[in-house]
Structure 1
Amino acid sequence: MQLNQWSRRSFALSAALLVGIGLVAGTSQEASARHHRRHHRVVRHNDLASVAARTPELKTSVEAYKKAGMTGMLRRGGQHTVFMVSDAGWGKMPKENREGLMNDQKKLQEVLKYHILKGKQEAAELLNKRSAVTLQGESLMLDNKDGTLIVDGCITTTPDVKASNGVIHIIDYIPVPERGK
Structure 2
Amino acid sequence: MKRFIHAFVSALIIIITVGFNNAYAAQEQTQVDKNLVKVAATNDNFQTLVMAIRAADLTGTLEGKGPFTLLAPTDEAFEMLPEGTLAELLKPENKEKLQKLITYHLLPSAISSSAASQLKQPETVEGHPLTIENTDDGIRINGAKVIEADIPATNGVIHVIDKVLIPPAE
Taking structure 1 as the reference length, the TM-score comes to 0.77
* Secondary structure at 1:149 match in 2: strand
Work out the CA distance in 1 between the residues paired with 2:119 and 2:66: 22
1:49 to 29, 37, 41: 37
Residue 86 (1) aligns with residue 67 (2): no
Residues 127 and 147 in structure 1, CA contact (< 8 A), matched pair in contact too: no
1:129 to 114, 119, 123: 119
Matches within 5 A, 1:46-125: 46-103=34-91, 104-125=94-115
Measured after TM superposition, the shift of residue 40 of structure 1 is 3.4
How much identity, in percent, do the aligned residues show?
A: 25
Aligned twin of 2:5: none
Cα-to-partner distance string for 1:17-63 (whole Å, 9 max, x where unaligned): xxxxxxxxxx99xx498366435326221111111111111111011
Aligned twin of 1:169: 159
Taking structure 2 as the reference length, the TM-score comes to 0.82
Say if 1:120 and 1:40 are closer, same or farther in 2 by CA, change over 3 A.
closer
Regions of 4+ moved over 6 Å: none
Work out the CA distance in 1 between the residues paired with 2:24 and 2:149: 32
Work out the CA distance in 2 between the residues paired with 1:76 and 1:151: 25
Say if 1:134 and 1:35 are closer, same or farther in 2 by CA, change over 3 A.
closer
* Secondary structure at 1:88 match in 2: helix
Count residues with an aligned counterpart: 154
* Secondary structure at 1:40 match in 2: helix
Cα-to-partner distance string for 1:88-107 (whole Å, 9 max, x where unaligned): 10111123112112222110
Structure 1: 5+ residue stretches without partners: 1-26
Say if 1:129 and 1:147 are closer, same or farther in 2 by CA, change over 3 A.
farther
* Secondary structure at 1:131 match in 2: coil
Radius of gyration: which is bigger?
A: 1
Measured after TM superposition, the shift of residue 78 of structure 1 is 2.1
Work out the CA distance in 2 between the residues paired with 1:69 and 1:102: 11
Deviates more, 1:107-116 or 1:94-103: 94-103
Aligned twin of 2:23: 38
